[in-house]
Amino acid sequence: MPTILVLDDSATMVMSLSHILKGAGYDVETGMNGREGITKLNDGVKPSVILTDLNMPELDGIGFIKEARKIASTRFTPIIVLTTESGGRKRDEARAAGASGWLTKPAEPNQLLSVVKQLCPAR
């Protein structure tokens, strides 16, 4: 099964995203901030898609994307930003850091799954 890495500092969001993605046939790895995400990648987790929040403690979403793009195995992995921020400046910043797409909260489960499935169909 393809793996999705989910990063969000809200435990409820992490659980909710995991539930939806697992229900659609994906394996899910999670982290509560960008630093935990980088640790997972360095530990050998090879996600097919990464979903990340922007505003997180320790290492935020933008910082995470920059770091992840330096790791050979995730240089080209699709990274979708899922955040309450809908502003152009933040979006540009995320794109410049290497984000592949953007979903503004509140998003519907179908919206989320349609983006993830386009990037990586569940088996």
Partner 1 sequence: MSETAESNERLVCAILAEQVAALRDRMDANAAFDLLWRTSALLSWLSGLLSDSSHNAPHANPVLDRERAEAITEIAEIRHALDELAFLQAQRQDFAKQIADCVVIALEQMAVAEMPPGTSFSSADLAALYVSDEQRKLHEAVVRRLQG
Question: Taking CB under 8 A as the rule, does residue 1 contact partner 1?
Answer: no
Q: Does 15 bind partner 1 (CB under 8 A)?
A: yes
Could you give phi then psi for residue 35, rounded to 5 degrees? -60, -45
Residue 26 to residue 75: CA distance in whole angstroms: 21
**Are the C-beta atoms of 80 and 62 separated by less than 8 Å?**
no
Stretch that binds partner 1, among 14-22, 39-47, 67-75, 114-122 (CB under 8 A): 14-22
CB 7 within 8 A of CB 61: yes
Minimum distance, C-beta of residue 13 to partner 1, in the bound complex (Å): 5
Contact region with partner 1 (CB under 8 A), list: 66-74, 77-85, 93-101, 115-123: 77-85
Determine if 25 is a binding residue for partner 1 (CB under 8 A).
Answer: no
